[in-house]
Amino acid sequence: RTPAQIFPGSYCWVNTGGGVDRSFDSVVMIEDTLMEGDTLLVTRTITRGENIRPEGEDITKGQVIARRGDCLDAFLIPLLIASGNSRVSVQRLPRSVFIPTGDEIITAEEWVREDDKTWDKVPETNSFMLRRLFHDWGFPLEIHDLVRDDEALIADAVSRALRDHDFVIIGAGTAKGKRDHSADVIGKLSEPLFRGIRMKPGRPVIVGSSGNRPLVALPGFPMSALVTCWSIIHPLLRRLNGESPAVDLEKAVGSVETLKTSLLMHHSSSQGVMEWLRVKCGDIGGTIYSWPLASGASSTFSTSDADGFALIGSSVLEMPKGSEITVWTKRKMELEKRPVYQGSNDPAIDRIVSFMRERGGDLAVRSVGSLGGLSALARGEGHVASCHLLDPETGVYNDTFISRLDKARSWRRFKLFKREQGFLVRKGNPERISSVRDLADKGSIFVNRQPGAGTRVLFDHLLKEAGIQPGSIVGYDNIAITHFEAAARVSGGSAAATLGIRAAAKAFDTDFIPVTEEDFELVIPEEFISHPGIEILMETLNDDRRRQEVDSLGGYRWAF
């Protein structure tokens, strides 16, 4: 095909996006042309108007480009500028302020500087949580200085805040103690609307109205404050902003994904009360399971550790295992690369998760004790378990218990390490404890582990070997779920001793009296060996950096 010749004066050069003089009616791409002297050679056929965007194609006079309630976002702002609008009328966002109160709380800066954290002080963290929530919702939030538990001081701070803000939130003081002043302050400065809702946690919230300005007192415990923000603060903000005040919990929670899950364990709820659950999730054999974490209103760890949240209706009393619950997740999860671990609590296992995530995997950890982990595998409720179970009859770890698993299935065993167990006692061992006999004879307060935990099995063996009845041990029924929880009680002085691992003693700076070295191993059903997450787990076990991190904990000796 012979190229078309375009002579000088019949063409001009133009950059992509540039204006085209009306004397020209089409644009040809430079890659479809050649130059022969001053003559342009066009090598393909073009049509009139080709590659020219006509005036008014994007925006024309009289076109509505924004409506009441539209947000000035990354899409609308360029459109307004392109249409020649440099100024538009806007509705400002509600001005909100959070006023933290309490004699027992100190600023985060003071808390971080404190070398010795005292039992009678707690850091003020709710302001950080609220600021992030407001940011995610698209609203500003001012944080007031901390106000002590004095009604006059709180009332003065609230009164001044009401002059300059559309929404005032008081932190804590919602109970009925002598130092809880929020109800009295709201009663004097506003029209009280209600006090308390049938929701767990979050029950003691107080709401009032001052000249159409909402005044809310949040419960002080972090989880209570969080769910109150979702349920009450968020819809009030939407109303102040001219939006629908309807409760949109999925949006309030900031859910990344909504999952229909099957409850992995039975759960009982209080009659007539909605209950928020913090849950972890895992996909086992094509079924997505979820299980509740610690439910304390003051627990920030379980709130952060949770994969998501579920709200149980007020009419629900009992939720049998297998019940369907909807989970609003707070993170995106690749469940197909996330095996479910059930078994013994161990800090070395907790630390493996970060290394698995580096490789594109993850691990859902559920600490249920060694016996609980093996039982979960037998029921098909996990991909991997761990155990360190002593058979008192043989003196051998794990063999007896693993041999009881279903013979029709194949089980793979991986010995990870030997781990030191011993008594953790307060620094200096003031009660001179070195054996279970000392615990019984001296009446020292002991903190035990839950039934089914390998450490509990070992302790019961030590008692039997010494001829001591469990009832002779003060605190035998005081239960801690993890080694670190038990060590914290000893370090904090609420118990004189516990049986646990050297790593926990090192972490909490307690004395450690060695008792034994135990075999800690993983058990994996053969059918899950090729699971993508299990493959990542096995690869991670050989990571030298992970080994160094575990070695730094103290009390471990590698078995491979």
Q: Is the pLDDT of residue 55 over 80?
A: no
The CATH number that applies at residue 306 is 2.40.340.10
Whether residues 228 and 346 fall in one domain: no
Q: E strands of 353-403, at which residues?
A: 364-367, 384-387, 390-391, 396-397
Q: Is the pLDDT of residue 280 over 90?
A: yes
What backbone torsions phi and psi does residue 473 show, to the nearest 5 degrees? -95, 115
pLDDT range class, residue 473, cuts 50, 70, 90: very high
CATH of the domain at 496: 3.40.190.290
Is the pLDDT at 56 greater than 90, yes or no?
no
Query: Region 363-370: what's the mean pLDDT?
Result: 95
Last residue of a domain, one of 182, 216, 251: 251
Task: Give CA separation, 114 vs 111, 263, 320, 427, 506, in Å.
Answer: 5, 42, 46, 20, 20
222 vs 79: CA distance, rounded Å: 42
Q: In the prediction, which pLDDT does 62 show?
A: 86
Share of the chain above pLDDT 90, in %: 84
Do both 406 and 551 map to the same domain?
Answer: yes
Summarize the confidence of residues 398-424 as an average pLDDT: 96
Closest of 554, 413, 440 to residue 496, by C-alpha: 440
Asked if 275 and 200 touch (Cβ cutoff 8 Å), the reply is: yes
Alpha-carbon distances, residue 443 vs 248, 433, 475, 479, 503 (angstroms): 55, 11, 9, 17, 26
Q: Tokens 């179970």 correspond to what residue?
A: 389
Question: Has residue 230 got a pLDDT over 90?
Answer: yes
> Do the domain assignments include residue 38?
no
Cβ proximity of 309 and 327 under 8 Å: yes
Q: Can you tell me the mean pLDDT for 241-270?
A: 93
- CA dist 137 and 124 (Å) reads 22
40-64 burial, b if ≥16 CB within 10 A, otherwise e?
A: bebeeeeeeeeeeeeeeeeeeeeee
Q: Are residues 243 and 363 in the same domain?
A: no
Strand 324-329 relative to strand 308-312, pairing: antiparallel
Q: Is the pLDDT of residue 129 over 80?
A: yes
pLDDT band at 113 (very low <50, low <70, confident <90, very high): confident
The predicted structure's pLDDT at residue 352: 95
Residues 288 and 346 occupy one common structural domain: no
Distance CA 51, CA 41 (A): 18
Under the banding of pLDDT at 50, 70 and 90, the label for residue 179 is: confident
Angle separating helix axes 151-164 and 182-189, nearest 10 degrees: 50
Average pLDDT value for residue range 316-345: 96
Same domain, 357 and 321: no
Mean pLDDT score, 30-51? 93
- Average pLDDT of the residues in 343-366: 95
Q: Is residue 535 part of a domain?
A: yes
Q: What is the pLDDT of residues 317-329, one digit of tens each?
A: 999 999 999 999 9
DSSP 3-state assignment of 125?
A: coil
d(CA 44, CA 33): 8
Predicted structure pTM score: 0.84
Residue 177 has pLDDT above 80, yes or no: no
How many CB atoms neighbour CB 84 within 10 A? 7
* The pLDDT value given to residue 312: 96
pLDDT in tens, 528-544: 999 999 999 999 999 99
Please indicate, yes or no, whether residues 314 and 452 belong to a single structural domain of this protein: no
- Overall average pLDDT of the 323-342 stretch: 96
Whether 274 is in a domain gets the answer yes
Query: Is residue 545 predicted with pLDDT exceeding 90?
Result: yes
* Residue 417 structure tokens: 């390490």
Return the pLDDT at 115: 73
| H and E: helices and strands count for the chain | 19, 30
Sequence-ordered list of residues with C-beta below 8 angstroms from that of 188, at least 6 positions apart, any chain: 155
| Domain count of the fold of the chain | 3
Longest dimension (CA), the chain: 111
Q: State whether 373 and 326 are in the same domain.
A: no
How far is 73 from 560, CA to CA, in rounded Å?
56
Mean pLDDT of 323-349: 96
19 occurs within a structural domain: no
Residue 453 has a pLDDT of: 93
> Residues with Cβ < 8 Å from 201, sequence gap 6 or more?
219, 221, 223, 224, 227, 276, 295, 297
134 vs 143: CA distance, rounded Å: 12
User: How far, in Å, CA of 437 to CA of 406, rounded?
Assistant: 39
Residue 325 shares a structural domain with residue 410: no
Average pLDDT, the chain: 94
- 280 is written with which tokens? 């972890």
551 confidence band (pLDDT: 50, 70, 90): very high
Output the pLDDT for position 59: 83
Q: Which of 236, 251, 266 is the last residue of a domain?
A: 251
Q: Quick one: tokens of 428? A: 């200096």
What domain range is 300 assigned to?
257-332
pLDDT tens string 431-468: 999 999 999 999 999 999 999 999 999 999 999 999 99
pLDDT confidence bin for 7, thresholds 50/70/90: very high
Boundary of a domain, candidates 299, 332, 365: 332
pLDDT tens readout for residues 58-110: 888 889 999 988 888 999 999 999 888 889 988 899 999 999 999 999 999 98
- The residue assigned the tokens 């029950």 is 203
Please indicate, yes or no, if residue 56 is contained in any of the structural domains.
Answer: no
Greater pLDDT, 422 or 392: 422
What is the reported pLDDT for 121? 87
Q: Quick one: average pLDDT of 28-41?
A: 94
pLDDT for 415 beyond 90: yes
Give me the pLDDT at residue 186, please. Answer: 96
**Do 379 and 518 have their domain in common?**
yes
Kindly state whether residue 47 falls inside one of the protein's structural domains. Answer: no
Average pLDDT over residues 153-160: 97
Same domain, 228 and 347: no
* Cα(485)–Cα(491) distance, integer angstroms: 10
Q: Tokens 């779920």 — which residue?
A: 481
Q: Output the six-digit token pair for 497.
A: 């001793």
Q: With respect to residue 18, please indicate whether it lies within any of the assigned structural domains.
A: no
Q: What is the pLDDT of residue 294?
A: 85
Residue pair 505/429 in contact by the 8 Å Cβ criterion: no
User: Do 163 and 275 belong to one domain?
Assistant: no
Distance from C-alpha of 528 to C-alpha of 533, rounded to nearest angstrom = 9
> Binning pLDDT at 50, 70 and 90, where does residue 278 land?
very high
Query: Per-residue pLDDT for 117 more than 80?
Result: no
Q: Which residue, 350, 183, 380, is CA-closest to 284?
A: 380
Residue with tokens 């070395």: 348
Residue 247 lies in a domain: yes
Question: Which pLDDT score, from 0 to 100, does residue 174 have?
Answer: 83
- Judge whether 416 and 521 are in contact, CB under 8 Å: yes
Three-state SS annotation for 269-316:
CCCCCEEEEEEEEEEECCEEEEEECCCCCCCHHHHHHCCEEEEECCCC
**What three-state secondary structure class fits 259?**
strand
Same domain, 472 and 391: yes
CATH number of 243's domain: 3.40.980.10
pLDDT at residue 517, rounded to an integer: 96
d(CA 556, CA 346): 11
